[in-house]
Structure 1
Amino acid sequence: MNLSRSGRKMASLSGLRLIMEDIATTIGSATGKKWTNLGIGNPAAIPEVQDTWRRMTSRALNSSFSEVSCGYGSSRGLSDLIDAIAEYFNGRYGWDVTPRNIVVGPGSQMLCFAAAALFTGLGADRDTRLVLPMTPDYTGYQGLSLVPDGVGGIAPVVQSVGERSFRYLFDEPALDELTDVGLLLLSSPSNPAGRSVSPDETELLLAAAVRHDVPLVIDNAYGAPFPAIGGLATAPVWDERVVNVFSVSKAGLPGERLGFAVADERLIEPMVSFMANSTLHAPQLVQSALAHALRTDALDTLVASVISPFYAERRKYAETLLAETLPEDIAWRLYASDGGMFCWVWVDEEWFDDLRLYETLKGRGVFVVPGRYFFVDAPDGEGRERHSRQCFRVSITAERGAIAAGVEVISAVLRDMRAESVQPTR
């Protein structure tokens, strides 16, 4: 039997998924060897976070198990959670949302997939693509289209800051020149760089969405109001074109696959129908647990007293280690992050290659993630193609000792790579 074109597209693994499979297979097959995994994307295992969700889940079990786990529910989401979300966002941000503005799904990635399927692809008038207005961004977005080449991305303008930092800026002319956009999508703070979109940049993106007459999806998986991992906790923006997507994964429940979207009714209603046609509805016991967490302020308390401080301290620790350990005579720069769970390093040397770094580190028992897979359609010229192969991602969720040991090996490998590059050819 043959797969369809969309079947072939969805049956193939992205480059990053191949890397993650390689990490899992390597660690699982090499018995007795100690590995330092700084490529992991899981949130940190924080005891206070686990205890809070265990308590919320136990409460849901005791109060509503027979209703929510032993029967089907609404494709929009559990009514108790839908009401709690509306009350929460109206109270916290002064919005005026009702249940008609909300849909719950099995993870924020599934909600983004629904939006991509609804607003991009083969059209009656023209074919359109899902466009990431700035890459690097979450690699999972690259698998959201059923259409081959249905996802495009705009490379950033790279701005050096001081001696050891850098930032990314939107390429406004490239954003204006788009001709086949059906949906704009980005994460804030972003995975991998931890870049948060400022209010002025949000206005820029909204203006682009208006010009192209498309929705703008903002994935707040690392942002406000939860888990608020980052110093710049920009409040989500309400606009008739914005679909705000939220998740409890980085707030401590990645395995339960629960997210929700809040937007104008005309954007939400098609997504509700998509949920009904594809998955019926999201798991309901965890929906009940989240409703309890929102209504009792348990989640806000957890974010303010545990999650945000934990990642702030861990980021400071990792960034200090990198600054003190990486070779001074190599042109490396650390992204001036606003949040997220990773450090994003750029090695601005002709001899550096992210895949070569990955393989060399792997041989020494350390894993990081090569940067190239977070870019889409990186153009030639202005050094952008080269830049996409000069970055790598380091997780800050590992234990402090593992981060310290891993950074030492990274430093040694960079020195070795540089030394090999200057050896005379024979």
Structure 2
Amino acid sequence: MALSLIGSKMATLSGLRSIMEDIAVSTASGPSDWLNLGIGNPASIPEAIAEWRSLTEEALAEDFASASCQYGPSRGSAALVEAITGYFNERYGWSLTPRNVAVGPGSQMLCFTAAALFAGPGRHPGSTATGGTKVILPMAPDYTGYQGLCLHPDGVVGIPAAPVPEGTHRFRYAFGFPALEQRQDIGMLLLSSPGNPTGRAVDASELDALVGLARRRDVPLLLDHAYGEPFPRIAPTLTPPPLDEHVINCFTLSKAGLPGERIAFAIGAERWITPMVSFLANSALHAPQLQQSVVARALTSGRLDRLITQTVVPFYQEHRRLAEKLFEEVLPESVPWRLHSGDGGMFCWFWIDDDRFDDTALYERLKRDRVFIVPGRHFFPDTPANPHRT
């Protein structure tokens, strides 16, 4: 069998996907025997499960025929698009219309769509590069799933962040803005904020700098709000989602308790959203419609906001506090560990500040004790010379 160039790229698992496969194979005979501290599902919160089940039962009873038994618009169902525009206009004082919204089958697909449209072979009008443009991650490490977005090799580039120690057991990353400004091959900027895996939220001055760069290069800045404002707020944000001609905001319901149903949406200027809708029409047709009805109900009724405020936010805050308490109490002083002092999130991002340390060696050692963690190197694209990545 011969694969095309794109086929060869997309048929290969990105780094963390191989770890997820290893976890699945290793735990197949008895997952209860393993402690999985690695990548996985959002927590199964009983109150969240009950609320989404109730909303789904209502949609099933009232909307099944119209939602599931016929095709729908590729932009998203009229009910959900109207719910999104109404929610964000009221919450943030925006003036969105349906032309500013694209609903997709998960935020991964929306990011993939944007990457395919705005970066790749060919010359971007605002670029001096002759070899095409790339998806630039302004801060590496960032979400490992971004590395599988591009259909061409070496299409994703990460700008290494500088680790800055804070006290004895904390550190924080700083943007490498000089290196970012030097890139002449930017097709799209892509950033998770609050970040996966660090929990780091971009502040107002950093956001201004990123938007300014996107404006000067006439490229989109895609901000992935999977953990932040307005839902699920697992990690507090320092700034609200920005409404700007050069920003695409991406939101998902996955971390609000609905990861399996693959519903997300992008908000941005028509110039970015219109080709994204066409791409979705050509590739996936549209997102699952029954779940679009469920999310529309959650938004318009206020039940999503109540679920986030009363259940999801307190749940993750308490678990984060417990984890930090255990680190201080249990980890020995002989280990030079530092926890990223991000603003929360689902993950605890450790830097073992020792040149002899190797992340994959620890992965294999803990695996012998039937414990899974995630080797950090998989969150650093194309930076093998960076010793911090291991």
- For this structure pair, what is the TM-score category when the shorter chain's length is used for normalisation? over 0.9
Corresponding residue of 1:142: 147
SS in 1 for 2:265: strand
Deviation for aligned residue 1:124: 4.6
Matched residue type, 2:9: K
Look up the equivalent residue of 1:104 and give its one-letter code: V
Superposed, which structure 2 residues align to 1:254-333 within 5 Å? 254-333=259-338
- Indicate which of 185, 188, 208 corresponds to 2:190: 185
Q: What is the CA distance between 1:32 and its match in structure 2?
A: 8.7
**Does the CA-based 8 Å contact 2:233-2:313 persist in structure 1?**
yes
Q: Which amino acid aligns with 2:179?
A: A
Q: Report the equivalent of 2:127.
A: none
1:371 paired with 2:376, answer yes
TM-score by length of 2: 0.96
Q: 1:33 to 1:106 in 2, by over 3 A?
A: closer
Q: Deviations over 1:17-53 (max 9, x none)?
A: 1111111101114x49711000132110000000110
Q: Percent identity?
A: 57
Provide the residue aligned with 1:397 in structure 2. Answer: none
The CA distance in 1 between the partners of 2:164 and 2:287, in whole Å, is: 41
Q: How does 1:405-416 map to 2 (within 5 A)?
A: none
- 1:411 is matched with none
Q: Deviations over 1:77-131 (max 9, x none)?
A: 0000000000000000001101010010000110000000000111256400111
Q: State the partner residue of 1:361.
A: 366
Contact 1:188 1:220 in 2 (8 A): yes
- Equivalent positions of 1:114-133 (< 5 A) are 114-124=113-123, 126=130, 127-133=132-138
- How many angstroms does 1:212 deviate by? 2.1
Within the candidate set 163, 167, 171, 1:166 is matched to 171
Partner of 1:113: 112
- The AA in structure 2 aligned to 1:145 is C
State the 1:211 CA deviation. Answer: 2.5
Equivalent position of 2:12 in the other structure:
12
Q: How many residues of Structure 1 are paired with residues of Structure 2 in the alignment?
A: 384
Q: CA deviation at 1:329?
A: 2.0
| Residue of 245, 252, 255 corresponding to 1:250 | 255
Indicate conservation of the 8 Å contact 1:230/1:340, yes or no.
yes
- Alignment check: 8 A CA contact 2:194 2:236 kept: no
**1: CA distance, partners of 2:213 / 2:20:** 34
Deviation, 1:377, is 2.6
Task: Quote how far apart the aligned CAs of 1:163 are.
Answer: 0.9
Task: For structure 2, list consecutive stretches of 5 or more residues without a partner in the other structure.
Answer: 125-129
Task: Please list, as runs of the form range in 1=range in 2, the aligned pairs for 1:203-242 lying within 5 A after superposition.
Answer: 203-232=208-237, 234-242=239-247
Q: Which amino acid aligns with 2:98?
A: P
SS in 1 for 2:81: helix
* TM-score (norm. length: structure 1): 0.88
2-structure distance, mates of 1:48, 1:129: 42
> Which residue of the partner structure matches residue 389 of structure 2?
388
**Stretches of structure 1 lacking an aligned partner (at least 5 in a row):** 390-426
Q: Which amino acid aligns with 1:362?
A: K
1:404 — aligned with what?
none
Spell out, residue by residue over 1:272-295, the C-alpha distance to the aligned partner (whole angstroms, 9 max, x if none): 000100010000000000000000
- Return closer, same or farther for 1:347/1:74 CA change in 2, 3 Å cut-off: same
Indicate the SS of the match to 1:159: strand
Q: Give the superposition deviation at 1:185.
A: 0.2
